[in-house]
Chains A and B, each alone.
Chain A
Amino acid sequence: MYQATITITLRTSILDVQGKAVEHGIHSLGMSNVSNVRIGKHIELTIDAADEAEAKRITDEACRKILANQVMEDYTYTVKKA
Chain B
Amino acid sequence: MGRLSTMKFGVVVFPGSNCDHDAYHAVKHVLKQDAEFIWHKSTSLGDVDAVILPGGFSYGDYLRTGAIARFSPVMREVVKFAEAGGTVIGICNGFQILLEAGLLPGAILRNRSLQFICRHVNLKVENAQTRFTSACSKGDVLSIPIAHGEGNYFADADTLSALQDNEQIVFRYCGPDGTVSDETNPNGSLLNIAGIMNTRGNVLGMMPHPERAVEAELGSTDGVKIFTSIIKSMVSMDVSL
Contact = CB atoms under 8 A, between A and B. Distances in A.
B155 A71 contact: yes
Contacts of A17: 109-114, 188
A72 interface: yes
Chain B interface size, under 10 / 10 to 19 / 20 to 34 / 35 or more:
10 to 19
A18 B111 CA distance: 10
Interface in A3-51: 10, 14-15, 17-18, 21, 41
Contacts, number: 33
A78 interface: no
Contacts of A53: none
Interface of A: 10, 14-15, 17-18, 21, 41, 66-67, 69, 71-72
Interface stretch (B43-51, B63-71, B84-92, B163-171): B63-71
B146 to A, nearest CB: 17
Question: Interface majority SS on B: helix, strand, loop or mixed?
Answer: loop
A72 B67 contact: no
A18 B114 contact: yes
B154 A72 contact: yes
A61 to B, nearest CB: 14
Nearest to A67: B63
B106 A66 contact: no
